[in-house]
Amino acid sequence: MAEKSGGASAHDRPLRVGLLGYGLAGSVFHAPLIAATEGLRLDLVSTASPERQAQARAEHPQVRTADTAEAVLARADDLDLIVIATPNKTHVPLATAALEAGLPVVVDKPLAATAAEAEKLAALAEDRGLLLSVFQNRRWDNDFRTVRKLIEDGALGDVQRFESRFERWRPQPKGGWRESGDPAEIGGLLYDLGSHLVDQALTLFGPVVSVYAESDVRRPGAEADDDTFLALTHAGGVRSHLWVSATAALLGPRFRVLGSRAGYTKHGLDPQEAALREGRRPGDEGLEWGVEPRSGWGRLGAGASPRMGGGEPVPTLPGDYPAYYAAIERALREGGRPPVTAREAAAALRVLEAAKRSAAEGATVRIAA
């Protein structure tokens, strides 16, 4: 990595991180994980809210604060990485500005509203020789890591259908930009939780050749999609069925994966988000990070109902959100591929765009593999 001002090589000190935004994404996910990563230092946080500035300084006493993202980018020579955790509509302009200022960038998902915008950002980063990565922390969920290992080990045989859900019961809209009906805000569950599910499906099974989707606005007063289903056909023949919903009065399994040899069913959610929201941090004394009790394990088997005790319990691998920023730190110091690339984000956005079109037209949409 190029030497920055001050005369010290980046190999001799922690890499200095500027974090744009200190709402849910910035304060709960990015800041704690950056602070817990050896070789990174959370140096500068931007938020227009005086209360959030005070919160950032209280939670990270060494951090400096600024009122605007522009104020952080003006100090590009003092930083080694920009992390963008601001509202979705700002991701593209802020990532563009950071790359043009010569800084590597991590962007919270979704990277952009369209695959074309994501590809343009990817090209800019490549032209500048800079890292550009998208924060897809759900690749390091405990249950997804377990599914991935079962597939890699051949425990399921040939996977035929992959079912994945992020369902909630929130009968009253909370408001804010995430639930806005304004297309410029890039709100709604398809681009929020759906970004995770599509990324996971592509990670496991590769390119998608066709998309069918059903998308609804169910709750009174809601503006953006709050109940959406996607059916993806992968080039290799696997079918992924994905649900995102805020209106699920009874929650389905987080995963059900059906193969030629066996199936795997898993209920419940990875514990890392809850731990971060409660103020717990990776490395806390006495805390086994990302570990869930035996009662949460999924079950593997054939010809039996897991809910009736069928199948064998499978120990869930520990969740590992810290692995994302550890990989970012290595990529910055050593070069090479970041843990999630902008091109991968563009591929997921092509699927999300096809889903929007399918839901609007009531037809299956083909995607060039």
Residue 179: which pLDDT band, with cuts at 50, 70 and 90?
confident
DSSP string, 336-351: S--SSBHHHHHHHHHH
Residue 306: which pLDDT band, with cuts at 50, 70 and 90?
low
90 burial type by CB count under 10 A (0-12 exposed, 13-18 middle, 19+ buried) = middle
Whether residue 289 contacts residue 246, with contact meaning beta carbons closer than 8 Å, is answered with no
All residues at 6 or more sequence positions from 50 whose CB lies less than 8 Å from its CB, including other chains:
none
For strand 132-135 and strand 159-167, is the pairing parallel, antiparallel, or unpaired? unpaired
Please check the confidence at residue 185 and state whether its pLDDT lies above 80.
Answer: yes
Measured distance CA(257)–CA(260) in Å, rounded: 10
pLDDT in tens, 40-95: 999 999 999 999 999 999 999 999 999 999 999 999 999 999 999 999 999 999 99
Beta bridge partners of 83: 19, 106
pLDDT in tens, 319-349: 999 999 999 999 999 998 999 999 999 999 9
For strand 298-301 and strand 312-314, is the pairing parallel, antiparallel, or unpaired? antiparallel
Residue 292 CA from chain centroid, whole number: 20
Sign of the dihedral defined by the CA atoms of residues 199, 173, 362, 229, in that order: positive
Bigger pLDDT: 155 vs 12: 155
How many Å is the Cα radius of gyration of the chain? 21
Nearest 5°: phi and psi at 252?
-85, 180
Per-residue confidence (pLDDT) for residue 2, from 0 to 100 = 44
Average pLDDT, stretch 12-16? 92
Please check the confidence at residue 307 and state whether its pLDDT lies above 90.
Answer: no
The matching CATH number, chosen from 3.40.50.1000, 3.30.930.20, 3.40.605.10, 3.30.360.10, for 138-321+351-361 is 3.30.360.10
Average pLDDT, stretch 195-216? 98
Q: Which residues of 268-293 are buried (b: 16+ CB within 10 A; e: fewer)?
A: bbbbbbebbeeeebbeeeeeebbebe
pLDDT in tens, 119-142: 999 999 999 999 999 999 999 999
**Cα–Cα nearest to 129, from 339, 331, 344:** 331
DSSP string, 240-292: EEEEEESB-SS---SEEEEESS-EEEE-S--SHHHHHHTT--TT-TT--TT--
Angstrom CA distances, 207 to 42, 215, 237, 366, stand at 36, 22, 10, 12
pLDDT in tens, 261-293: 999 999 999 999 999 999 999 989 888 999 999
pLDDT in tens, 229-255: 999 999 999 999 999 999 999 999 999
Please state the domain extents for the chain.
10-137+324-339, 138-321+351-361
All residues at 6 or more sequence positions from 120 whose CB lies less than 8 Å from its CB, including other chains:
none
**Cα–Cα nearest to 191, from 224, 164, 158, 168:** 224
Nearest 5°: phi and psi at 25?
-65, -45
Helix axes 142-153, 193-205, angle to 10 degrees: 20
Q: Tell me which architecture the domain covering 10-137+324-339 has in CATH.
A: 3-Layer(aba) Sandwich (3.40)
Please check the confidence at residue 11 and state whether its pLDDT lies above 80.
Answer: no
Please check the confidence at residue 186 and state whether its pLDDT lies above 90.
Answer: no
Measured distance CA(329)–CA(344) in Å, rounded: 19
Residue 66 in 3-state DSSP? strand
Residue 3: which pLDDT band, with cuts at 50, 70 and 90?
very low
Per-residue confidence (pLDDT) for residue 178, from 0 to 100 = 84
Please check the confidence at residue 4 and state whether its pLDDT lies above 80.
Answer: no
**Cα–Cα nearest to 201, from 155, 166, 163:** 163
Q: Do domains 10-137+324-339 and 138-321+351-361 have the same CATH topology?
A: no
Per-residue confidence (pLDDT) for residue 285, from 0 to 100 = 86
Per-residue confidence (pLDDT) for residue 301, from 0 to 100 = 95
